[in-house]
Amino acid sequence: MPRPDLTFFTELDSEALSTLFEDKTILEKLLTLEASLSLGILDLSEQRAEVVKRLNAAGIPVIGWLLLPEEDGYWFNIDNYEKAAARYISFKAWTRKHNLQWAGVGLDIEMNINDLRQVMARHQADRFVATLFQRYLNKNRVTRARRVYQALVNVIRSDGYPVESYHLPIIEEERRGRSTVLQRTLGLVDVQADREVLMLYSSFLRPDGAAVLWSYAPNADSIGVGNTGGGVDVEGVIDLEPLSWEEFSRDLRLCVMRNKPVHIFCLEGCVAQGFLSKLEDFDWDKPVPIPERVNKVKMLRTGGAALLWLLERPWVILLTLATFIGLGFLFKRSQKD
């Protein structure tokens, strides 16, 4: 079986990024693997531009993974669409100034990083629940954000770049439930792009990570595998154990069994753990068993979609309760008669 199309994410600041690519063997390994690089655009600096030029000169396809300052949410979300659009305009100007070449543009649609930190901080979690309820009541935010992001996708395409979207897998339950609840509350946006990558990072989902990957893989245009070690600092998330080689190789083979391209998070983690060298002669054909507890994941997904369907239509819940109350009243009345 041929090696799948590989794309590595990297999310380093400019100084660390320059240091990483001082090792010329990394470029050589990426070329050997015929891999692309989704490069987090944390800044629009000369230093980052120089790295992109080196990648362009080496013939490595580079995707511009657009990000924002942390105070603006870092990832794109339902509330920062204006800043997201402005970021792309600045990215284009930076691209022209330095004559950079891109194989595509990536839009990372996740929670506001500051919301995520609030969720992970237990002493702030109660306060965030009240915020979620307020957001749940506001449906208008979803329509507005979707419209702006879809317009942004169209602009990027008109500039000649294919668009990748990076989504949390729970967006699939939102779609199955014909719901906007997760978008309203967590800040996700259901953006349609040329290639959708579901971030199926099994290191965050132990012990069911492999089962979750297997379950969601058919819905993805490309499967996000990880975390091999790295990423933005979020307490309670970044400090989880990265994938071991056994876990990483299992996940890659599951992707091959699903006949899907692979986005690996992240390059710096693979370099630190020696995975990049191991991939050069990796046996992609070696079979692995279908993960256990797939049925459990399937049941949870079905239940989640059903719950989102109901939460999108609270009148169904109220009508059901009213029906049961009415039936109970009639039953008691009939007993008296």
Closest CA relative to residue 77, chosen from 188, 224, 163: 188
DSSP assigned state of 286 = -
Closest CA relative to residue 193, chosen from 140, 142, 231, 155: 155
State whether residue 224 is helix, strand or coil.
strand
The angle, 0 to 180 degrees and rounded to 10, between the axes of the packed helices 81-98 and 140-158 is 10
Interval 312-325: pLDDT, tens: 987 666 655 556 56
In this predicted structure, the answer to whether residue 331 has a pLDDT above a threshold of 80 is no
Interval 30-69: pLDDT, tens: 999 999 999 999 999 999 999 999 999 999 999 999 999 9
For residue 134, name the pLDDT band (cuts at 50, 70, 90).
Answer: confident
Structure tokens at 62: 């580079």
Fold annotation for 6-336? TIM Barrel (3.20.20)
Please give the model's pTM, rounded to 2 decimal places: 0.91
How many other CB atoms are there within 10 angstroms of residue 216's CB atom?
22
Say if residue 277 is exposed, middle or buried (CB neighbours under 10 Å; 0-12, 13-18, 19+).
middle
Domain boundaries, the chain: 6-336
Higher pLDDT, 233 or 27: 27
- Distance between CA atoms of 290 and 212, rounded to whole angstroms? 11
Over pLDDT 90: what percentage of the chain?
80
pLDDT score for 82: 96
pLDDT score for 137: 86
DSSP 230-261: --S--TTTTTSPPPPHHHHHHHHHHHHHTT--
pLDDT score for 319: 57
Cβ-Cβ contacts under 8 Å for 94 (sequence gap 6 or more): 44, 49, 100
